[in-house]
Amino acid sequence: MLRPFVSLSTRLGVTPDAVSVIAFALAGGASAAFYLGGADPIWYFAGAVLVFLNGWLDLLDGALARELGTDSKAGDLLDHVLDRYADIVIIAGVAAGVDRYALGLAAVTGVLMTSYLGTQAQAVGLDRVYGGLLGRADRLALVGVAGVVAAVQRFYYAWTALS
């Protein structure tokens, strides 16, 4: 499924680290879109699309690194750090957009602790578990779906109010 995108990235000379940075930039855009969602529901949809693209690029960076033979501990560190910051900014945008900061803090704590516990398991000699009940891909999908549902609900509300 990623093969055509890996091939295209290789032909364009895109590096895995660049893909990681672009993915983070998309997370920042998603955060801004979710923050603006209360003003116009199209922003929730835009945020959902940006979260989907962030998740897609998060898969692509590792596949591209393996294809190019450039996978490294430094690249893995950059990817994981940017992923955590992406999680934080996306949740912060949602929380600020709906004015629910305590819920946002709880969500960020849960996301960061999930990641931390995975690295701690790895540090004591266990395998790193990326999946589980709500792995990062699942969390991104959940935020993306919630963005689309919010956009549709807000549009429906406005449409019926104007009819």
Q: What is the CATH number of the domain that holds 120?
A: 1.20.120.1760
Domain that holds residue 79: 3-162
* Number of folded domains that form the chain: 1
Classify residue 60 as exposed, middle or buried by CB count within 10 Å of its CB (0-12, 13-18, 19+): buried
Separation between Cα atoms, residue 85 and residue 69, nearest integer Å: 26
Give the residue numbers marked as catalytic: 83
- pTM score, whole prediction: 0.81
* Cβ 34 vs Cβ 43: under 8 Å: yes
| Regions of the chain short of the pLDDT cut 50 | none
Q: Mind listing the pLDDT tens digit for each residue in 5-47?
A: 999 999 999 999 999 999 999 999 999 999 999 788 899 999 9
